[in-house]
Amino acid sequence: MKKIGIIICGRYQTCGGGKCLRSLNEHEGAFKIYPKDEELRLVGYSYCGGCPGGNIEYVPEEMIKNGAEVIHLATGVVVGYPPCPRIKQFKQFIEARYNIPVVIGTHPLPTKYITEHEKLPFWDNANMKEIAPELFNDTKEMADSYN
């Protein structure tokens, strides 16, 4: 069993987490990195605290106390506009301070966000495909199912 914490973007702090939880349960999106037969258990779910991300300093500690072995920064940090400019710093800080791996992304990228972001330069300029590779190799059918 893999115990997971999820940190979402402050813009979506009232999000019910449906897409993240669905993808966790189905091993889709960024959760496809785990073996299909490995149980994934959510042990913490919070938001970054809003810009500039004040909760990043202490929320991971609480998740780790609950058994988190890895922390996912939710897909919302990638698809919101503008996407979070601190993604790399959040990942580096959490990994350095808490010695726990951080994965960028949760649920697959919905088609509606792919369509819009392909018209804009940010994902290319930020090397988003390198930062969150698991989110950029789903099928169109999978992306459509997360609209």
Question: What is the SS3 assignment for 126?
Answer: coil
Domain residue extents for the chain: 2-145
CATH T-level assignment (fold) for domain 2-145: Rossmann fold (3.40.50)
Q: Is 44 exposed, middle or buried (0-12, 13-18, 19+ CB in 10 A)?
A: buried
Give the H or E element holding residue 41.
strand 40-47
| pLDDT tens for each residue of 24-67 | 999 999 999 999 999 999 999 999 999 999 999 999 999 999 99
> What's the pTM value of the predicted model, to 2 decimals?
0.95
- Taking phi first (over 0 means left), then psi (-120 to 50 degrees means alpha), and beta for anything else, what does residue 17 get? left
Q: Which amino acid is at 49?
A: G
Q: Say what percent of the chain tops pLDDT 70.
A: 100
Max CA separation in the chain (angstroms): 42
What's the confidence (pLDDT) of residue 68? 98
